[in-house]
A and B are shown apart, each in its own frame.
Chain A
Amino acid sequence: MMAKFLISVLKALVAVIILNVIGSFVSARFDLTEDNRFTLSKPAIEAAKKFDSPVVIDILLDGTIPPEFSKLKIETIQLLKSFASKNKNIKYNLVNPLEDETQTQETIANLQRIGLTPANVTVEENGKVSQELVFPWAMVNYKNQTVKVALLKNKLGSSTEERVNNSVQQLEYAFADAFTKLNITEKKRVAVIKGNGELDDIFLADYLTTIQEYYDIGAITLDSVIKNPQRVLEQLKGFDLAIIAKPTEAFSDGEKYVMDQFIVNGGKSIWLMDQVAMEVDSIFKGGGSAMAIPRDLNLNDFFFKYGVRINPVLVNDLYFTQIVLATGEGNDSQYNPVPWYYNPMVFSRNNHPINTNIEAVRYQFANAMDVLENDYQKTVLLRSSPLSKTEGTPKQIGLNILDAPPNKETYNNGNQALAVLIEGKFASMFKNRVKPIQLENTLEEGEANKMIVISDGDVIKNQLRNGRPLELGYDKWTNSSYGNKEFLINCINYLLDDTGLINIRNKKVSIPLLDVEKIVEQKAKWQLVNIGVPVLLTLVLGIFFGAYRKRKYAS
């Protein structure tokens, strides 16, 4: 009897296993979340599918971590599970970097040396406040390469919860981005244009080293256009994109024609233009004031053709970033951050893949652009704040503007375009015109193309410390970080990315938060409701059932 029972049990168990195994082959998955959070977007899947040997992802979030970060950990694991279901080669590990308590300090130093910056979390428990370090990073290891993935994304002035919220949104992008980097076999080529007083390499260093993971970078000097324009053009045509970072000398017509032909032939371009000569340094050197003078780069007709006009005016914005002034002498020096209205802090409107989920971008002496009507499609990527105004040049600019508070009523022409994306079938600006120089194989009309014009050259400029470049977007004087780097990386990815990686950025995940104020106000009420009402319902059910039974038996 017992043996027969056991055999039946065994049979049933086998049936269960077989059922589940079969079920795992014909499975379907439904994402009930309203934002389709757990459904990978197409470009992300494409990026993940390219691995043909094992990829191991180490998540450095194991151990005791604050609850916000465990949320981040859970979401990361979930995401990697989804990636793993698309490509069996993707594996992940949880790692606690601070596991060995005997040498915590050493480990922290080591991690920081390889560029993993920790997040400092204030933990408040039973009235005691303590600081904890968390390393919100993942390392993606493939073949002999390792790419770091920042799981936490900083956003200026947000709480830890908001930071985590933001970070979860961009996790998919962060990993898809890392996967793409690891799989790049043929890098596209980026040319840094020289010869017209552009920024020195050291000021572009941080940006260029960052994009080196995706692209090959070379320099092209336009000076030799005078001697051999054809060769310069041919060289230039070997590149996919040109960066023109803050030229200070005018372009000759010949140089313009070479650039024009590069663009008409399909070359993408990012123009970072200063139409007004002005620097904070000049103000300090000039004893507290300096003259802002319009700069003629001989490119007005060129940009006009594409539908933008960079005006020789300065944007004065009440959403500003600070500069630091030193007062006193020698050891008594004091460094005070002061508002600097000519350095706008530009918040993204999140209306385009390029500007979605980026931090505020810092401009320094920005010019305002007019966007004109023509055949090209133009998207304004960044605008000055509604509380801004333009000031014509030449104009004396001095530190004395700090003495009086700004008159808000004069800030009445805000929302000036500061970065514009132009798309369309580009035509040569020399079409139907006398050509300045003779070039072979020229085109009058080109295929679909894109360019981005940014009306401030300093957006791409990183600061230096002891002669070494700092991260782009970091201001050493005020110790704050801005979104310049991300913005420019998105720009170049958008211009050069054919696979549509940038589209993952458009995905928004909303993690609803509870309102702290409401909790304080209504805590007691909801405690009462949430405990009282269900218990009350049970009682009511009992009374009704009792009454029902009484009636039934009475009758």
Chain B
Amino acid sequence: MFAIFKREVQSFFTSPIGYMIVGLFLLLNGLFLWVFKGDFNIFDYGFADLGNLFLLAPWIFIFLVPAITMKSFSEERKVGTLELLLIKPISIWKLVLGKFWGAFLLCVIAVLPTIIYVFAISNLGITEGNFDLGVVLGSYFGLLFLIGAYTSIGLFSSTLSDNQIVSFIIGILMCFLLFNGFDAMSSLFSDGETQQFIQEIGARSHFDSIARGIVDTRDLMYFVSLTLFFLYLTFLRLKQLPR
């Protein structure tokens, strides 16, 4: 598993793709949060918290994570290396997990520099350093779990086609549905309880809850089981692929 993980990470950083993705994430975040006028602008928002970052980041990742994972299996299938991998003496599960952690690490690397924003709001507060560290930590924690779910979805979608673009688009669609689809669907119902039930199937309500600084085991369970589910689907799909 570690060999796959290492190979995966290396492949990101030897090609410009890895840097482009990390750079794009940071650039988009920076512009929306600190420069562009609009809902996400922290200066206009006026509160010394990073709520806006955690409002924005899930949306950016909807596009970025499938971009990272699209080639994991599609490309290998296309050039025929997947068969080589599958006949190697390593279990399919380890292959999937290796790819998963590789893509996950890249996302973490993208997120890490945003810690500089924490210093920014800490310095700009009316009383310096007066921001809620607990909430910030909770939010980052929630973001990691969300990225995990996105990554597993991306991996699965990449097994669905040997065309990277198709994998990418399916990945975006599935991430979007998971994050926002259920919320949007719930608005079709007028009954408050049905609305709430449908919203809770989606990832957004769970993420929002963690991002607010409340770590609930139910929300964690949701993300972990979801991630495992899609990893399992990936596994099934790989097993099913004709060799």
A binds B: yes
Q: Are B214 and A512 in contact (CB under 8 A)?
A: no
Task: Identify which of residues 11-62 in chain B touch chain A, using a CB-to-CB cut-off of 8 Å.
Answer: 13-14, 19, 22-23, 26-27, 30-31, 33-35, 42-49
Q: Are A29 and B46 in contact (CB under 8 A)?
A: no
Q: Are B46 and A161 in contact (CB under 8 A)?
A: yes
Whether, in the assembled complex, B93 has its beta carbon less than 8 Å from a beta carbon of chain A, the answer is: no
- Which of chain A's residues have a CB closer than 8 A to the CB of B232? 12
- Which of chain A's residues have a CB closer than 8 A to the CB of B34? 526-527, 530-531
Whether, in the assembled complex, B213 has its beta carbon less than 8 Å from a beta carbon of chain A, the answer is: yes
Q: How many chain B residues touch the partner (CB < 8 A)? A: 60
Query: Which chain A residue has the least Cβ–Cβ distance from B131?
Result: A512
User: Contact partner of A515 among B42, B124, B212, B229, CB < 8 A?
Assistant: B124
**How far, in whole Å, are A447 and B142 apart by their CA atoms in the complex?**
54
Whether, in the assembled complex, A511 has its beta carbon less than 8 Å from a beta carbon of chain B, the answer is: yes
Query: Which chain B residue has the least Cβ–Cβ distance from A30?
Result: B215
Q: Are B116 and A533 in contact (CB under 8 A)?
A: yes
Whether, in the assembled complex, A402 has its beta carbon less than 8 Å from a beta carbon of chain B, the answer is: no
Cβ-Cβ contact count across A and B, 8 Å cutoff = 162
* Minimum Cβ distance to chain B for residue A510 (Å): 7
Q: Are B213 and A512 in contact (CB under 8 A)?
A: no
> Given the interface contacts A32-B138, A531-B30, does A514 sit within 8 Å of B216 by beta carbon?
no
Q: Are A519 and B124 in contact (CB under 8 A)?
A: yes
Q: Are B124 and A9 in contact (CB under 8 A)?
A: no
User: Contact partner of A33 among B114, B117, B135, B236, CB < 8 A?
Assistant: B135
> Given the interface contacts A32-B134, A161-B46, A526-B124, does A5 sit within 8 Å of B22 by beta carbon?
no
Q: Are A538 and B13 in contact (CB under 8 A)?
A: no
- Stretch among B80-88, B166-174, B217-225 lining the A interface: B217-225
**How far, in whole Å, are A242 and B190 apart by their CA atoms in the complex?**
51
* Minimum Cβ distance to chain B for residue A555 (Å): 17
Q: Are A31 and B213 in contact (CB under 8 A)?
A: yes
**How far, in whole Å, are A283 and B134 apart by their CA atoms in the complex?**
58
- Which of chain A's residues have a CB closer than 8 A to the CB of B19? 538-539, 541-542
- Stretch among A20-28, A183-191, A329-337, A463-471 lining the B interface: A20-28
User: Contact partner of B130 among A8, A24, A37, A512, CB < 8 A?
Assistant: A512
**How far, in whole Å, are A214 and B138 apart by their CA atoms in the complex?**
40
Query: Which chain A residue has the least Cβ–Cβ distance from B232?
Result: A12
Whether, in the assembled complex, A111 has its beta carbon less than 8 Å from a beta carbon of chain B, the answer is: no
Contact string, A527-550, partner B, CB cutoff 8 A, digits 1/0?
A: 101110111011101100100010
Query: Which chain B residue has the least Cβ–Cβ distance from A517?
Result: B126
Whether, in the assembled complex, B105 has its beta carbon less than 8 Å from a beta carbon of chain A, the answer is: no
**How far, in whole Å, are A511 and B51 apart by their CA atoms in the complex?**
12
Query: Which chain A residue has the least Cβ–Cβ distance from B141?
Result: A32
- Which of chain A's residues have a CB closer than 8 A to the CB of B236? 5, 8-9, 12
Contact string, B124-157, partner A, CB cutoff 8 A, digits 1/0?
A: 1111001111110110000000000000000000
- Which of chain B's residues have a CB closer than 8 A to the CB of A23? 217-218, 221-222, 225
* Minimum Cβ distance to chain B for residue A77 (Å): 11
Q: Are A514 and B26 in contact (CB under 8 A)?
A: no
Q: Are B26 and A32 in contact (CB under 8 A)?
A: no
> Given the interface contacts A27-B218, A538-B113, does A514 sit within 8 Å of B43 by beta carbon?
yes
**How far, in whole Å, are A525 and B226 apart by their CA atoms in the complex?**
41
Q: Are A32 and B214 in contact (CB under 8 A)?
A: yes
Whether, in the assembled complex, B192 has its beta carbon less than 8 Å from a beta carbon of chain A, the answer is: yes
Whether, in the assembled complex, B121 has its beta carbon less than 8 Å from a beta carbon of chain A, the answer is: yes
User: Contact partner of B132 among A33, A67, A533, CB < 8 A?
Assistant: A33
Q: Are B214 and A12 in contact (CB under 8 A)?
A: no
Whether, in the assembled complex, B233 has its beta carbon less than 8 Å from a beta carbon of chain A, the answer is: yes
- Which of chain A's residues have a CB closer than 8 A to the CB of B49? 512
User: Contact partner of A535 among B13, B26, B35, CB < 8 A?
Assistant: B26
- Which of chain A's residues have a CB closer than 8 A to the CB of B33? 530
Task: Identify which of residues 69-128 in chain B touch chain A, using a CB-to-CB cut-off of 8 Å.
Answer: 109, 113-114, 116-117, 120-121, 123-127
* Minimum Cβ distance to chain B for residue A35 (Å): 7
* Minimum Cβ distance to chain A for residue B214 (Å): 5
**How far, in whole Å, are A139 and B49 apart by their CA atoms in the complex?**
30
Q: Are A33 and B213 in contact (CB under 8 A)?
A: yes
Q: Are B226 and A16 in contact (CB under 8 A)?
A: yes
- Which of chain B's residues have a CB closer than 8 A to the CB of A8? 236
**How far, in whole Å, are A29 and B121 apart by their CA atoms in the complex?**
27
Please indicate which of the listed interface residues A20, A37, A538 has the most CB atoms of chain B within 10 Å of its own CB: A538
User: Contact partner of A512 among B132, B212, B222, B228, CB < 8 A?
Assistant: B132
Query: Which chain B residue has the least Cβ–Cβ distance from A4?
Result: B240
* Minimum Cβ distance to chain B for residue A147 (Å): 20
**How far, in whole Å, are A267 and B137 apart by their CA atoms in the complex?**
51
Q: Are A549 and B46 in contact (CB under 8 A)?
A: no
**How far, in whole Å, are A19 and B27 apart by their CA atoms in the complex?**
39
Smallest CB-CB A-B distances: 5 pairs: A534-B113, A531-B30, A32-B134, A23-B221, A512-B48
Instruction: Please list 7 pairs of residues, one from A and one from B, whose beta carbons are closer than 8 Å in the complex, sorted by A's number.
Output: A8-B236, A20-B221, A33-B135, A511-B47, A533-B113, A535-B27, A549-B14
